[in-house]
Amino acid sequence: MAKKFTDLAFTLVNELAYNSCPLENQEYRRNSQMMVIRPVKMDDLEDIVGLAAKTGTGLTTLPHNEAHLKRKIQDSIDAFNKTEGNPSDECYLFILEDTESQQVVGTSGIVAAVGSTQPFYTYKLNTEVHYSKSLNIYRKLNFLTLTNDFTDASEICTLFLSPDFRGGGNGILLSKCRFLFMAQHPKRFGDRVVAEMRGFSDDNGRSPFWESLGRHFFGIDFDTADKVNGEGNYQFIAELMPYHPVYVPMLTAEAQAAIGKVHAQTRPAVQMLKAEGFRYTGYVDIFDAGPTIEAPITEVNSVKESFELEVNIDDTPAKSATNAMISNTKLKSFRACLAKLEAPMAHKINVNSELADALMLKQGDSVRVRFY
């Protein structure tokens, strides 16, 4: 719902540019410190405020506003504390921690079920056919319909990685760790997962779709509308957005060309998600017409190709190892990281003591692993 750069665009464009080879062929960078994903806690507020100061104007779900961020952290704590039931608008916020400095260097989130308490608006691109027999004229016309079709779907959001820590798989970990968490706790999420991608704008940040449509109804510039929306004020959309279909030929040619088109910086993010199984099905953002892509959660590759194994703590050097993402199977104490692991045997996998400590594991615990 027009939360531009809420996911992936800031981080993955830099991540994938740094790692030009496919993920399956990457060698994860081994620093002296280990990078670990965990749930956010209130003690992280100062670090997250510092992160938010680095996002610029794009990441509307991570505004540089301490009061807002404090509420966001508390909402996440409440989400992790929630007993299982019907998923609602709770947001699970994860952070990437540099374990050596104990500094928070990145964030990513999941909204359990969008539209459950506030409308989640998208435009659906449809086609209708007109034919005049007397004039022998046949016309196909595209039109946009305001919908709430993603109500109860889960949304991945709020991904941002400090520029100082981009590369080496950190952005990939921030993004894909969420799929391991969703695979482990499926009752907390919807059947579908969606991601809103930043739409096309020119070098000056001007959105032709907004200028041709949204500005006429809202009377404010794109950045202002996006900022207000990102801070959780959705009511103005219901009050001002047109509910009648918008016929695409009535828009400027530039705006028509922008429908479903992603910003150049966002293409790597879309490619990564499409490789995970996400698809564009004709839904676009109501502000800049960027594509909203989706997938059944069970069809996301990092969900269906991950599996549980029993832990064997062993510090014997591995003879051969493969890149993997690994997490514990806990809720409030969820941990995940990248590692090089030997192939499992008899449903067991060897992890060394350092990795076991980072993931808060003991002998015989379960982990979820996805090999690449």
CATH code for position 346:
2.40.40.20
Catalytic residue positions, numbered: 263
d(CA 290, CA 111): 19
**Based on the domain organization, do 194 and 68 belong to the same domain?**
yes
One digit per residue, the tens of pLDDT, for the chain of length 372 reads 544 434 444 344 444 433 433 444 444 444 435 899 999 999 999 999 999 888 754 456 777 789 989 999 999 999 999 987 789 999 999 999 998 889 999 999 999 999 998 889 999 999 999 999 999 999 999 999 999 999 999 999 988 889 888 888 998 999 999 999 999 999 999 999 999 998 998 888 889 999 999 999 888 887 777 767 666 666 677 778 888 999 999 999 999 999 999 988 788 888 989 999 999 999 999 999 999 999 999 999 999 999 999 999 999 988 889 999 999 999 999 999 999 999 999 999 999 999 999 999 999 999 999 998
Note whether 310 and 27 are within 8 A (CB).
no
**Based on the domain organization, do 288 and 355 belong to the same domain?**
no
**Based on the domain organization, do 335 and 252 belong to the same domain?**
no
**How many C-alpha atoms does 249 have within 13 Å on its Cβ side?**
6
Burial of 42 (C-beta count, 10 Å sphere; 0-12/13-18/19+): exposed
* pTM for this model (two decimals): 0.87
CATH code for position 283:
3.40.630.30
Residue 17 is assigned to a structural domain of this protein? yes
Domain boundary, last residue among 284, 305, 326: 305
**Based on the domain organization, do 78 and 167 belong to the same domain?**
yes
Please give the pLDDT value at position 56: 56
Amino acid (one-letter) located at 96? L
Residue 354 is assigned to a structural domain of this protein? yes
**How many C-alpha atoms does 109 have within 13 Å on its Cβ side?**
26
**Based on the domain organization, do 327 and 201 belong to the same domain?**
no
Amino acid (one-letter) located at 118? Q
Please give the pLDDT value at position 21: 37
Please give the pLDDT value at position 307: 95
End-to-end CA distance of the chain: 32
**Based on the domain organization, do 93 and 167 belong to the same domain?**
yes
**Based on the domain organization, do 300 and 331 belong to the same domain?**
no
Residue 370 is assigned to a structural domain of this protein? yes
**Total residues found in the chain within this entry:** 372
Residue 142 is assigned to a structural domain of this protein? yes
**Based on the domain organization, do 298 and 319 belong to the same domain?**
no
Host domain of residue 362: 306-372
- Tell me, what DSSP letter sits at residue 62? S
Residue 2 is assigned to a structural domain of this protein? no
**Based on the domain organization, do 67 and 182 belong to the same domain?**
yes
d(CA 243, CA 185): 37
**Based on the domain organization, do 335 and 202 belong to the same domain?**
no
Residue 1 is assigned to a structural domain of this protein? no
**Where do we find the tokens 């966001």?**
72
**Based on the domain organization, do 148 and 211 belong to the same domain?**
yes
Domain boundary, last residue among 286, 305, 324: 305
**Based on the domain organization, do 251 and 339 belong to the same domain?**
no
- Tell me, what DSSP letter sits at residue 170? H
Residue 333 is assigned to a structural domain of this protein? yes
Residue 4 is assigned to a structural domain of this protein? no
| Structure token pair of residue 366 | 């379960």
| Structure token pair of residue 339 | 């590692």
d(CA 187, CA 71): 25
Domain boundary, last residue among 285, 305, 325: 305
Please give the pLDDT value at position 59: 55
- Number of domains comprising the chain: 2
